[in-house]
Amino acid sequence: MPLYEYECRQCGHRFEILVLGKIRPVCPHCQSEDLEKAFSTFATSSAGSSVGGNSCSMRTPSGGCSAGGGG
C-alpha cells in the first residue's frame, strides 16, 4: 500500500497518509496542500516488542493508534 509521510510547509505538522490514485493529500491539522514528502524512518523490532513499549497495528491519518495492542 502506498503509505507516505509528509511534512506541512504551512504549519510544520508531520503525518503519514495512505495515498490512492491521483488524490492530493492535505494536512489534517491546517488543511494546507503545501506539503513536502518526508524521509520515512522504519522501525525494526523483534516479535512482541516495539520502540517505547507501545505497539500499534493501524495508524490514523493524525498519527495516532486506531487498533492493536501490546505484543
Sign, CA dihedral 11-43-69-66, equals positive
Is it the case that residue 21 has pLDDT exceeding 70?
A: yes
| Sign (positive or negative) of CA dihedral 60, 64, 24, 33 | positive
Dig out the grid coordinates for 63 from the structure: 498519527
Distance CA 19, CA 10 (A): 20
pLDDT category, 25, cuts 50, 70, 90? very high
pLDDT of residue 33: 95
pTM for the model: 0.53
What is residue 53's DSSP assignment? Answer: G
Instruction: Give me the mean pLDDT over the 5-34 stretch.
Output: 93
Q: What are phi and psi of 51, to 5 degrees?
A: -65, 130
Percent of the chain whose pLDDT exceeds 90: 35
Decide if pLDDT at 31 tops 90: yes
